[in-house]
Structure 1
Amino acid sequence: MSLVNRAVKTQRGLAYAYYFAKALPNKPTLLFAHGFPTPAYVWRRQITFFEQQGFGIIAPDLLGYGGTDKPTDPKLYVGSGLAQDIVDILDQEGVSQVISVSHDWGSRVVSRIANYYPDRLVACAFLGVGYGPPASNYADPITQSAQIKSLVGYDVLAYMQYFVEPNAHVLMEKNFDSFFSLLFPLKRATEEIWRENMCEAGKAKVWIESNRTTELPEYMTAEDKEYYTHALVGGGLSAPLCWYQVLVEQYNAEDDAKIPEEAYVLQKPVLFVAFNKDPIGLPTRMFAMATHEQYVKPDTNLTNKAVEGDHWALLSHADEVNTLLLEWIEGI
């Protein structure tokens, strides 16, 4: 099963692959923005659900993934460029406005669309990771890691120190099953595995070096795993890891400095869905709540919900997530 049926070359000269379905009359178009290390395929359960009800769909393989170009220059992954690429896709399909639904790193893309092109958004739904104001939530992850550790007691972003190492992708590709097991562990063991191996310095690398694996999580089939393997090993992990590299090299902070301060505040309806059993996202939820209080009008524009799932609740709790999204969309 593939979730791309269209292609476009953006103004930056980058080829993007994406899934498109035209909305029925009086139905909005939804933009789905994925994170690491998943191409648009991760949204398949949301896409199927909403397309059957007549919603339009735009779900790109974001830069570095799937059928989209995979440059390894981190400078190409700055927020202004990623936002422009998505707007180019909207223009290609003649879609003036969308309701965005984002997860993980996809939330950074939508955040920058909201800053640079707010008129293209009807509303924004952030899953797991909330709105990231310019040069704030996504600034230097090493500094942020120490700040969060002081508050929650463990190093939420420890794994990033390995992800930004030169040639980290080589070991990940060589021991891909181990990398995949670490990112998609058994649902019942996610909190333990991530706390011990993603949230302690050096442990993520040790996991993959030792080629440790688990069974597939309950929400993933062998066919799903085959799709991810083909997409990630075939295209390589060097490009997806640029999403982390762009932060530590400060290209993102320099790019965010171009955004005027008055554009920081979101004027559109926002839904934030916390994934309560995500040991990395749980502390992030605390920061998202504080950020939203400052940059989203809480009395009129902000809706907070929660799902008792881990980082991949959009897969393991797809029906619940879809219902929350649909109720919110219908209420806009």
Structure 2
Amino acid sequence: MQTRHIQTDGLNQQILEAGAGPLVLLIHGFPELGISWRAQVAALAAAGFHAVAPDMRGYGGTDKPVEAADYSILQLVGDMVDLVRALGETSCVVVGHDWGAPVAWHCALTRPDLFRAVFGLSVPFQPRRPKGPPTAAMAAISKRLGLGDLYISRFQAADAHQAFDADPATALRKMFHAYDGATPDGRQSTGFIPEGQSFISTVPDDATLPPWMSETHFAEYVAAFSAGGFRGPLDWYRNLDRNWAATAFLQDARIRIPAAFMVGERDPVRNYSGQHEAGLKDWAPDLRMQVVVPGAGHWIQQERPDAVNRLLLEFLASL
């Protein structure tokens, strides 16, 4: 397993890779890095695949454009297309977790000639909403429920990243704690932030690291986000309405390549995206696997590496 930099069109990407054989691309989410896939990189390499896990645009050792508009879904998909080409390949299987899942789903939607199969973790495919931009819909849902703002709405503020940048270690520790499957009920995040509070303040100050995360592994995250900051990662969220406007050509499009999806039973993200799980087969007709992992939370590839590795290899074997 090695880390290196690879130059793609206009972007210098840091990748974690191992193995030789058919390419499998592993896309992380927020607030993670390519290192979140170490267990999968090792398992895939041992099974005869070339596993590549990049630090995504705005994260870790990869370039961090300064304009918020440079983090749209089409640019994120373009980064993956460029990465496959720079690796000398003409096809791959794409795997995505959290924010990486929408990127992976859109890779499948827009370039089925290049991405021959897609495996989503934690966030199901969400078809484009024809009634209007998503942030307005989120605000309406939050108002109706009376639970406060959905954190995604708070992330729209131009200075939202500053609270995270002020103390990266505390922010990261609380986020990993609040979305982990081992965290008891009542201490997990609901995703909603009451008036007068922040995302960070809604998580108890005595939040501990998840059982699967060592202090050494956590220190890698703290070092990366202390150096690179949270502005770029939050710019992904600030492009939601721009993404909606730019993807009108994908309205009602289906994912036609083989697909799979798995999610943790206790993943708090299911509170606000879980409704899309039931209709996933309608949008991905060749859905070969849909699994709910008992007791698991949001960080599923790190919480349940053996289960993820087994199902991922099973899916790859079905292609």
Q: Distance in 1 between matches of 2:271 and 2:256?
A: 26
1:166 is displaced (CA, Å) by: 2.5
Aligned to 2:282: 294
Q: Distance in 2 between matches of 1:318 and 1:253?
A: 33
Aligned to 2:150: 158
Q: Distance in 1 between matches of 2:148 and 2:95?
A: 24
Contact 1:175 1:209 in 2 (8 A): no
Structure 1 gaps of 5+ residues are: none
2:162 aligned to 148, 151, 170, which one? 170
The structure richer in helix per residue is: 1
Aligned to 2:12: 15
1:127 is displaced (CA, Å) by: 0.6
1:45 aligned to 30, 39, 42, which one? 39
Q: 1:206 to 1:98 in 2, by over 3 A?
A: closer
Query: Is 1:121 matched with 2:115?
Result: yes
Q: Which amino acid aligns with 1:46?
A: Q
SS at match of 1:184: helix
Q: Which amino acid aligns with 1:310?
A: G
Aligned to 2:260: 271
Q: Distance in 1 between matches of 2:300 and 2:19?
A: 27
Map 1:132-281 to 2 at 5 A.
132-134=126-128, 139-144=133-138, 146-147=140-141, 158-185=150-177, 187-189=181-183, 191-195=185-189, 198-202=191-195, 205=198, 207-208=200-201, 212-247=205-240, 250-257=241-248, 259-261=249-251, 264-281=253-270
Q: Distance in 2 between matches of 1:329 and 1:270?
A: 10
What TM-score, normalized to structure 2? 0.88
Q: How many residues align?
A: 316
User: Please, which moves more after superposition, 280-289 or 220-229?
Assistant: 280-289
**Runs ≥4 residues deviating over 6 A:** none
Q: Distance in 1 between matches of 2:50 and 2:155?
A: 35
The percent identity for this pair of structures is 25
Q: Distance in 1 between matches of 2:58 and 2:311?
A: 30
Q: Which amino acid aligns with 1:6?
A: H
1:301 is displaced (CA, Å) by: 3.6
Structure 2 gaps of 5+ residues are: none
Deviation digits for residues 206-229 of structure 1 (CA, Å, limit 9, x no counterpart): 644999242211010011111001
Q: 1:115 to 1:148 in 2, by over 3 A?
A: farther
1:35 is displaced (CA, Å) by: 0.5
Deviation digits for residues 154-178 of structure 1 (CA, Å, limit 9, x no counterpart): 8597122322222122221212232
